[in-house]
Amino acid sequence: MSSVAQASGVVNSSDDSVPTISISHLNSEFFHKNFVIPGRPVLIDKVFDEEWTLPWLEDKLGEYPVGARYYGAERFHLPKTQWKRYCETRTLPFPEFVKLLRDGTAARERIYVANCDVSSTPVVTAIQSQLSNLETRTGLKPNGVSNYSMWLGAPGHTEPLHFDLADGLLMNLRGTKHITLVPPSEAHNVYPFGFFDGGLSPGFSKVYLNQPDLKMYPRMASALKARQEVILGPSQALFLPIGWWHEVTTTGTDYVCSLNRFWKVEPFRRNFVNRYVANIYLVTQMAKPLAAFSGKEQKKPVVHKAS
Ligand SMILES: O=C(O)CCC(=O)C(=O)O
């Protein structure tokens, strides 16, 4: 039995599945040893007391401007190598997005509020004690650039296979998400975009996970074999270590809402977990002095950036 399995509160812990652990059984030492240092995903249960509702969000956010990704109905029928860019992004007052959600336009046109910083809004204030508890019990440290960001949309939307350049926590406050994870060791087999391929940025895979063209991308068979499936339910949080590939699909019949935040990567060597992560890390570091020199300092890490 692994040390994770020995901890009380662990629901499943076989070596090829993501363990689930109740937040009340977590402490920072245990979390650091079993998940942070090895860079291993874990599902944390019973993090939040309540599910968010749309009227509650409307009340708390008022006219707050939200950044939405406009993918369009056709994009997911094209090979990803033919995408000219990841998606269009637009900022709109929250009530306008809610209208698109309620009248079905968001589902039809694949419009999704993504990576929208809500740290300074009452939605975060309302659950601050639960967020602080999560921070204390995981011992995760802020990375100094990332804040709490909101993801909100209709069921049936997919954020395609990619990895992030920091440890992340995806915290679910409404509905359910189906998440497929592929370990960093399989990076070569998911056919990442290169720096000069155009279209999508290097943290994205060229392959559709649900309909992989194994003739064109034969190594994907190995990645599929190594994949792990996670259902992220309400009040749960998924720890997503740097370099883990993930594809996230909203499920169910109602809208789905989460927050995420990125954290300091410890130990530092995990920034080099494979050559794809290391290359982007190094390019990002090199870009910093240039950005400072040109007066355009980077405010956020390069994580899941829509171009
Ligand atoms: O929740 C989503 O739809 C995507 C979230 C994500 O990709 C992330 O947290 O890195």
More confident: 48 or 300: 48
pLDDT digits 0-9 by tens, 65-88: 999 999 999 999 999 999 998 999
CA of 53 to the centre of ligand 1 (A): 20
The CATH fold assigned to 3-293 is Jelly Rolls (2.60.120)
**Highest mean pLDDT (candidates 82-86, 91-95, 295-299):** 91-95
Strands 176-182 and 167-174 turn out to be unpaired
Q: What is the pLDDT of residue 205?
A: 98
Burial of 189 (0-12, 13-18, 19+ CB in 10 A): buried
- Residues with Cβ < 8 Å from 229, sequence gap 6 or more? 178, 179, 180, 181
In ligand 1, the atom with minimum distance to the C-alpha of 153 is 3
Q: Is the pLDDT of residue 300 over 50?
A: no
CA of 294 to the centre of ligand 1 (A): 31
For ligand 1, mutation pick of 110, 115, 159 (most atoms within 8 Å of CB): 159
Tokens at residue 248, please? 């996230």
- Rounded to an integer, the average pLDDT of 148-162 is 97
| Residue 245 CB less than 6 A away from ligand 1 | no
Q: What is the pLDDT of residue 295?
A: 59
For ligand 1, mutation pick of 260, 263, 300 (most atoms within 8 Å of CB): 260
For ligand 1, mutation pick of 43, 246, 263 (most atoms within 8 Å of CB): 246
Torsion 36-138-7-44 (CA) sign: negative
In ligand 1, the atom with minimum distance to the C-alpha of 112 is 3
Q: Is the pLDDT of residue 132 over 90?
A: yes
CA of 170 to the centre of ligand 1 (A): 7
| Residue 164 CB less than 6 A away from ligand 1 | yes
In ligand 1, the atom with minimum distance to the C-alpha of 177 is 1
Band (146; pLDDT cuts 50, 70, 90): confident
Band (145; pLDDT cuts 50, 70, 90): confident
- Residues with Cβ < 8 Å from 166, sequence gap 6 or more? 143, 146, 242, 262, 263, 264, 265, 301, 303
Q: What is the pLDDT of residue 301?
A: 44
- How many whole angstroms separate alpha carbon 48 and alpha carbon 66? 23
CA of 256 to the centre of ligand 1 (A): 12
| Residue 34 CB less than 6 A away from ligand 1 | no
| Residue of minimum CA distance from atom 2 in ligand 1 | 248
pLDDT digits 0-9 by tens, 15-39: 668 999 999 999 999 999 999 999 9
Band (297; pLDDT cuts 50, 70, 90): very low
Domain ranges of the chain: 3-293
Q: Is the pLDDT of residue 3 over 90?
A: no
- Rounded to an integer, the average pLDDT of 212-229 is 97
Q: Average per-residue pLDDT in the chain?
A: 91
Tokens at residue 210, please? 């649900």
Task: Name the maximum alpha-carbon separation found in the chain.
Answer: 54
Q: Is the pLDDT of residue 95 over 80?
A: yes
| Residue 239 CB less than 6 A away from ligand 1 | no
User: Dihedral of the CA atoms 279, 307, 43, 66 (nearest 10)?
Assistant: 150
Q: What is the pLDDT of residue 11?
A: 54
Q: What is the pLDDT of residue 299?
A: 46
| Residue 45 CB less than 6 A away from ligand 1 | no
| Residue 258 CB less than 6 A away from ligand 1 | yes
- The conformational region for residue 300 under phi > 0 = left, psi -120 to 50 = alpha, else beta, is beta
Give the DSSP per-residue string, 207-233: S-SSS--TTT-TTHHHHHHH-EEEEE-
| Residue 247 CB less than 6 A away from ligand 1 | no
pLDDT digits 0-9 by tens, 157-205: 999 999 999 999 999 999 999 999 999 999 999 999 999 888 899 999 9
Where do the H-state alpha helices sit in the chain? 3-6, 28-31, 54-61, 94-102, 105-109, 122-126, 128-138, 220-226, 275-293
In ligand 1, the atom with minimum distance to the C-alpha of 250 is 3
Q: Is the pLDDT of residue 8 over 70?
A: no
Band (289; pLDDT cuts 50, 70, 90): confident
| Residue 170 CB less than 6 A away from ligand 1 | yes
Strands 149-153 and 111-117 turn out to be antiparallel
The number of residues making up the chain comes to 307
| Residue 41 CB less than 6 A away from ligand 1 | no
More confident: 99 or 290: 99
Band (144; pLDDT cuts 50, 70, 90): confident
CA of 162 to the centre of ligand 1 (A): 9
Which secondary structure element, helix H or strand E, spans residue 15, and what is its range? none
pLDDT digits 0-9 by tens, 254-285: 999 999 999 999 999 999 999 999 999 999 88
